[in-house]
Amino acid sequence: MPSGAIVGTLPGMDKTTQQAAQVDLAAAEERAKAATPGPWKATTYADSPSMGKFRRQSVVIVEDAVLVGYGAGPLTAEDAAHIAGMSPDVTCALDDRCRAAEAAVERLRTDNETGAALLLEMQAERDEALADGVRLRKIAEQMVSDADASVRHGWIAVVPQSVDAMRALLAKVPA
């Protein structure tokens, strides 16, 4: 696929539609820049009998010169309006918008990947912190138990209110 081609797909887009949606933006821009500059205008030939079979035929004109329609067979007003609406400046503007949209999609894809990696890293850090918290709680519980036993056996002279204060603090720590 040439550089500058739209190759992204949307959910639910079938393979035929995906292939039809692949546009070589660089080639479209080159064709547009090489084409007759606009503005292009859709109009009809005058309603004059002298126009013969071209009477009231839709055409696309550029600076009063027929660009599409004259002698090329019938061209509907809708076709002429569409062709006129796709003048080189419009094609180049659409090309610019497609490129900007593709760049934005790529930035979002990159941001999403970066965000997902960051989220995984934060979850791992959270799990590690929770594990540290569980270990610290067990240590604190053992310290309270040891202090309580030491006071009961008379090994240390700690005021019982100190052990109760330690228990109260420990109760505030999530299990």
Please classify residue 109 by burial: count the beta carbons closer than 10 Å to its beta carbon, then call 0-12 exposed, 13-18 middle and 19+ buried: exposed
Share of the chain above pLDDT 70, in %: 68
What tokens appear for 163 in the block? 């052990």
Q: What is the pLDDT of residue 48?
A: 62
pLDDT band of 5, cuts 50, 70, 90: very low
pLDDT band of 26, cuts 50, 70, 90: confident
What tokens appear for 144 in the block? 């309270």
Tens-place pLDDT, residues 30-42: 877 887 777 777 7
| Least confident interval from 15-19, 99-103, 126-130, 139-143 | 15-19
Cis omega (within 30 of 0) for bond into 2? no
Q: Out of 29-33, 112-116, 134-138, 144-148, give the one with best mean pLDDT.
A: 112-116
Q: Report pTM.
A: 0.47
3-state class percentages of the chain: helix first, strand second, coil last, to nearest 5: 65, 10, 25
Please classify residue 163 by burial: count the beta carbons closer than 10 Å to its beta carbon, then call 0-12 exposed, 13-18 middle and 19+ buried: buried
- 8-state DSSP, 17: H
Nearest to 84 by CA among 135, 42, 25: 42
Nearest to 4 by CA among 127, 94, 118, 117: 94
Amino acid, res. 115:
G
Mean pLDDT of the chain: 76
Task: Return d(Cα 158, Cα 144) in angstroms, integer.
Answer: 12
Confidence check: pLDDT of 3 > 70: no
Residue 154: its H or E element: none
CB 119 within 8 A of CB 112: no
Between the alpha carbon of residue 155 and those of residues 102, 141, 150, the distances in Å are 75, 19, 5
